[in-house]
Structure 1
């Protein structure tokens, strides 16, 4: 089972937002243990390295290494201890902060018993005992302290691996679940309160541990050795378990493996997940079936139930799927799924509120940048996506695919409203749309042609021929109607869209062209080629104005099966994606490497290099060959070490980099039987990439609503990589960055000016000091009737600063009307002057638009939900003065008075709620 190496935590299911912790491990995280109070978490990776993390502070407190892979981690319900299992041993540690020790992990006891690897842990409610399951089909019950009548107990009765074990509430009664779909109910003859502590003298005698080797790898603490078949003398006056029932989840002849389970003790609800994506809900101990539903076609890897027992969370590692299901109402609380294969392209919406991504699985997903959730997925394409983009309006998404179509999706109605095709079937490798959103172009990688369509009519306008190799990249000039196309034939052609699509200019390069990008002002063209160079062209005069040798900055790592060094391997690598910053002074470049580089275009130097991953579970991460992984037969990566659950063979197929699709022409019944038994094997990736993907960056984009990361960079940028969609940003709130600072500009003087009602001077001084809280204090202290006067007297230099502050203030402030008045007055009074430098102010205006749009959506939803309650309240208030008809009978009058009383009660309840 593979998980992301970054630890992501869901902050709130009610607010529908999530966040990622700013920490990472060196390998994939395989198990997580959370303390009962939710303040601490233990993360353990594939190699056994553990991080103790503060969930509140979002920081690493302590690092520890268990020296071997860990299978499970579990805190005791009282939070004083936690147990980890590795190999066939269970280690119990004192929880951090519960003992006066300098070491965060203090070993208390070591438990031996199972013959094979352990699989699961569960504690009793009073933290006196815990149970562990094993692959040897046995379950062991151990005492957290040395009880006289319970030191250890072994339970059998299963014919397959133990998947989960659960104690009953406030009891030693136990449920065990195995992979073959069997549930055993075990009843104990002793209650928890009847456990007797062992005499201190006898306990000390049993604590003696002989050290035959003279040293130990780590302190063992007290050791408890369990026996599978104890003699009668050892079992005398001990607890005794009896199996009272055995149930089966699967029907006879059904080989659907049970992969995960969870049990809620208060409601006696057992949830089990299977390899086919089906889950069952049973009520114990009677084993009454409540639900049996299918949520996926992949194995359910993990299940969790919330404290009240209403919500059930499912995780499917094969699809990257997370579901939260409310079982009583049978509805989804949360449903999120990433791309099945790698992401290959991304694009920001003009206001920066959304990101669209396209993947090799043929899906187009739209993500909300504020909540980090995907809110719509388009599955109309039948093959991998190669490029995605937004139109200038921000409500239309275009995607190109290898299935030979370019599709347009409407974000208002969430549907595919245009499909562009070529006269002959072609695989489209790139896509571009002009600034007006009326002309759509796509390049073919098999016919070497560029196709031009009209967005309004959907008609094919023209086919541009001239390239002698596959089209690798297209880019429209943001200012002029000029299209630049790059090809593997070592040329870049410039096409004039206004002059019958003729070739305006041809730029000759020394190597295959991989990507082209125009500067935002349209006066410069950047070209990345196969030799690792980035060249800059004055396309008006067809003159090269600069170049950057980027091959040395890629620093490609060495793959496990490479026969050459990483230094030699890097000579064949290059940049495959480029993106200019908003002001065009810097350029972002990435490719077949774990590094993303930012260059200064004018000086042609490297300014900063970002390492997108430190995860050694990915390939091409290590710079040097690890001799410990080499044998006389070759690399150990060639050896199949899969467990049979979901791991594939590590030997790659010749020439395969992405994956294979199998076409089986067999009988339907035979195919269904084969897929039911070997679905994971057949549907998985048979190439090496499924076992260990290679790290790479496929697409980069700057946020159009960026503040300033450096004086000439946008605040945030996004990248689609092997790790997924990564967004890098800088919180500039802690950086002291004054502007034209004088000796008289101090917080006390600013407040003094504010007290003297010199509001314009106070704002200017606060902007010079550039302290966000102080600016907010000054602006919110200005009366609403003075906003018009203050806005008109603001110097032009500070209007942009105020607009930038207003955009950020909308994100955190509740004074919506007040800040809307400020934004309205500034734009009305200074609109003409701002229009002259619109190119420079575009990110700030878009950031302001994004903030206002987000609040508009939230408030409009609230109004729509309450509009009927308001109408009902108005209708009730209008009936108060209406006189009753005199001829009504006494019974009718009583009935009407009762109804009015009830209506008034409902009316009061609505307003109180």
Structure 2
């Protein structure tokens, strides 16, 4: 259970494609990210990615009105029914063709999906126990081209479907006598959105050319007449064959075909629509097409997004412009409004942006953007609270591991960032880039306070900083040199030469002043910092060296080479202590255009990144593959292999070629149809079916560019093609008992607690090892008996109690209570725990991380309160001085008036 890491979160990518959906309470938003879905809690300031993945990228998400179910549909039409409460898949279904949109009815009893030119209405799952969760009710035919959008009336009696054939169809969810279907025209381009008014059949339609049509219905929702039931008297003598046919038709679902009616009497009785107004949005040329729209029925707010990144807010039906703003230079792909109408969410697929805007106060609630290109490197802060990533777009981003949000982005680099790292204090970030600079960023003031450069321009491919944080070293890719700078002065101290190939990796010994450098010249050199940077040892390997890493205690060195081997060395004696043949564990997938098989391709692959675990007993390795491997160093065996992705939208995922994609002209991957209307590209050439011939699709290859263990040992992270993946130990879902006995049950533990034998109850709870029960037992102990219970605990359980306290600090509000436990345990057992400091280090760092987070929150609150108290005191003093001044002036006036009165009376007396 020590390596029972499970997928925990996905950072670095916030939106790719598809529709955004607010939860029913409006406090959180669902965003599709690749083949997963991320839920952003806007009020709690947290994000979580569900451990549910489709086989291809998610294109549309349908959320039930109560927020308990979601339907995820991928590019090929495969759907997953997901429980948002349990975060698990309930049912799988395949619609056989790509689905354009999914929408639940407001009452939650039905949902409609659109594919091709057809709308399919299904019974909503979860209302009753059924074998098949997706039961087809009706099939609606009408549009001649692909359908684009859906909207329901408030009472779920009708729904509207927009199409690329410039028409909008209104269908009845039931067979109404006066409304089965109705077609609305009036547009000259594809329909982007259709929206019913509140409690009405009146409808607004928005097209891609920036036109808005207002349609008024002569009948209200109450005016819909139910169709009379069929005459069942003739059906009494049906044979069993007819009954079987009826059952088959019922399973298939009823079909409704939209066509012109020839009966004039019927047309008089049916619902009629009339266009009462048509408006046009301000456009900036033909390329600024309207790409997305959303409407809030209660406040009559229409939000429209354009290909230029501009969005408009209009008040309907008067079409008054409330606001217009540019949020990006890319196409706005999706818009959503929350239930109260205060927050508007925008998704820009070109840059991977997700924005939530409060339009009344004109401020951002959420503003997140991932790396534009792929991530290259990552590093954990010493307390494990922050993660820093560097990408090919030249950006350095810092992420909070507990909230999952990026809180600062540095954009000073002008080229790809090769390596990022933290100093030992955790408040300085260093990054090396191909633009020839190494930059130091301050996390207190969020600024670039140092820039290290070389005498002549060179590209830096690796970076390392020593344990004191005073010496910075970077290796060059083109001059084969290692540059050494002083952090304090920023001066170049030395330039080390000796390698005969590009420097691929640098690493400082955590304990001693030794720098290890790996190069493509098949050597690893050890340099002594105190001996004029002379080469101490040279380790010779059989292949080009790609990565090097020191064990946390500095007594072992791991080296990854191009031949797929991971070798372990004793840096003191320059002796190889072991090796692992990891080439076969990569299992490289086959690319679409590969001529060779996946098995043969894997022979030439190798690990490009590796790191030691927090305790130094295992090593984590990744490379140009979808697998990340954990090896035991001493036994030299593979412990566990993680498949980081199952997304077939990425290249090099499948082991065998798909014969369905092979045509007489070759693979379908060679045929590029262009980006089409998705990116707002106009059809420029005659004969071109979709898009512009200058635009191209690209299919990224799955790869792992960097892996790092958290200093707490509870999680590890990997930068991949999909984003920043975090795997952690979720102890709540893993049953891991410790010296369990048959007599230890929850009831017996509670019985012991009732007898006030608290130490015994804690030992029994930890042997059963259920987190909620442990929390119950710990919080039952009276505050004044914590010292007695701590002193009577066996040493074996002290480490387990400390580990529980570290995890409890993250969520519990009983801060002072758990701090008392921590302080007492460390005071009693501090000296004894020093002998096992190596094993206890991850637990202590985990504890430190939790306490540091609380310290920062409380210190900010205290500073704010102190400022308010000072302000209140200053105001009260100012008012007191003013009052005293007023009273002194009043007294002077009184004295003057008294003296005048006396003078007058004395004059009268005289």
TM-score range, shorter chain: 0.7 to 0.9
Mapped partners of 2:694, 2:485: distance in 1 = 36
Alignment correspondent of 1:813: 812
Cα deviation for residue 681 of structure 1 reads 9.7
Contact 2:145 2:164 in 1 (8 A): yes
Cα deviation for residue 251 of structure 1 reads 3.6
Contact 2:82 2:90 in 1 (8 A): yes
Mapped partners of 1:746, 1:143: distance in 2 = 58
Instruction: Confirm or deny that 1:574 pairs with 2:606.
Output: yes
Cα deviation for residue 243 of structure 1 reads 1.3
Alignment correspondent of 2:725: 726
CA deviations on 1:542-600 (whole Å, 9 max, x unpaired) are 22221111111111111111111111211221111101112222111110111111111
Mapped partners of 2:135, 2:745: distance in 1 = 51
- Total equivalences in the alignment: 847
Cα deviation for residue 6 of structure 1 reads 4.1
Alignment correspondent of 1:534: 566
C-alpha distance 648-388 of structure 1, shift in aligned 2 (>3 A): farther
Describe the SS at the equivalent of 2:821: helix
Instruction: Confirm or deny that 1:113 pairs with 2:142.
Output: yes
Mapped partners of 1:844, 1:178: distance in 2 = 58
C-alpha distance 171-766 of structure 1, shift in aligned 2 (>3 A): closer
Mapped partners of 2:514, 2:128: distance in 1 = 71
Describe the SS at the equivalent of 1:691: coil
Instruction: Confirm or deny that 1:696 pairs with 2:688.
Output: no
Of 102-111 and 778-787, more deviation after overlay is shown by 778-787
Mapped partners of 2:333, 2:40: distance in 1 = 22
C-alpha distance 276-768 of structure 1, shift in aligned 2 (>3 A): same
1:139-158 map, 5 Å: 139-158=168-187
Mapped partners of 2:43, 2:316: distance in 1 = 30
Alignment correspondent of 1:161: 190
Instruction: Confirm or deny that 1:565 pairs with 2:564.
Output: no
Instruction: Confirm or deny that 1:319 pairs with 2:351.
Output: yes
Alignment correspondent of 1:126: 155
Contact 1:481 1:498 in 2 (8 A): yes
Describe the SS at the equivalent of 2:603: helix
1:895-910 map, 5 Å: none
Cα deviation for residue 698 of structure 1 reads 0.6
Alignment correspondent of 2:222: 193
Alignment correspondent of 1:669: none
Instruction: Confirm or deny that 1:461 pairs with 2:493.
Output: yes
C-alpha distance 743-269 of structure 1, shift in aligned 2 (>3 A): closer
CA deviations on 1:162-206 (whole Å, 9 max, x unpaired) are 11111111111111111111111111111111112222238999x
Mapped partners of 1:726, 1:371: distance in 2 = 14
- Which of 68, 82, 85 is 1:53 aligned to? 82
CA deviations on 1:1-29 (whole Å, 9 max, x unpaired) are 74524433425311111211121110111
Contact 2:589 2:652 in 1 (8 A): yes
Mapped partners of 1:648, 1:530: distance in 2 = 44
Mapped partners of 1:875, 1:512: distance in 2 = 69
Mapped partners of 2:623, 2:463: distance in 1 = 19
Mapped partners of 2:288, 2:750: distance in 1 = 72
Describe the SS at the equivalent of 1:572: coil
Contact 2:731 2:771 in 1 (8 A): no
Contact 1:154 1:228 in 2 (8 A): no
C-alpha distance 285-596 of structure 1, shift in aligned 2 (>3 A): same
Alignment correspondent of 2:668: 636
Describe the SS at the equivalent of 2:732: helix
Describe the SS at the equivalent of 2:590: coil
Mapped partners of 1:769, 1:189: distance in 2 = 69
Q: Structure 1, unaligned stretches of length 5 or more?
A: 650-673, 675-679, 707-714, 889-913
1:331-342 map, 5 Å: 331-342=363-374
Alignment correspondent of 2:625: 593
- Which of 206, 210, 215 is 1:181 aligned to? 210
After TM superposition, the score normalised by the length of structure 2 is: 0.87
Contact 2:308 2:329 in 1 (8 A): yes
Alignment correspondent of 1:900: none
After TM superposition, the score normalised by the length of structure 1 is: 0.87
C-alpha distance 23-468 of structure 1, shift in aligned 2 (>3 A): same
Contact 2:162 2:192 in 1 (8 A): yes
Cα deviation for residue 756 of structure 1 reads 6.3
Contact 1:180 1:255 in 2 (8 A): no
Instruction: Confirm or deny that 1:421 pairs with 2:448.
Output: no
Describe the SS at the equivalent of 1:847: helix
- Which of 40, 50, 74 is 2:69 aligned to? 40
Instruction: Confirm or deny that 1:448 pairs with 2:480.
Output: yes
Cα deviation for residue 738 of structure 1 reads 4.2
Cα deviation for residue 298 of structure 1 reads 1.0
Contact 1:6 1:20 in 2 (8 A): no
C-alpha distance 821-229 of structure 1, shift in aligned 2 (>3 A): same
Mapped partners of 2:553, 2:505: distance in 1 = 19
Cα deviation for residue 265 of structure 1 reads 0.5
Cα deviation for residue 443 of structure 1 reads 0.7
Cα deviation for residue 353 of structure 1 reads 0.6
Describe the SS at the equivalent of 2:657: coil
Mapped partners of 2:232, 2:57: distance in 1 = 40
CA RMSD for the aligned pairs? Answer: 3.4
Instruction: Confirm or deny that 1:30 pairs with 2:59.
Output: yes
Contact 1:359 1:386 in 2 (8 A): yes
Alignment correspondent of 1:244: 276
Describe the SS at the equivalent of 2:676: coil
Contact 1:346 1:700 in 2 (8 A): yes
C-alpha distance 218-607 of structure 1, shift in aligned 2 (>3 A): farther
Mapped partners of 1:465, 1:24: distance in 2 = 48
Instruction: Confirm or deny that 1:827 pairs with 2:834.
Output: no
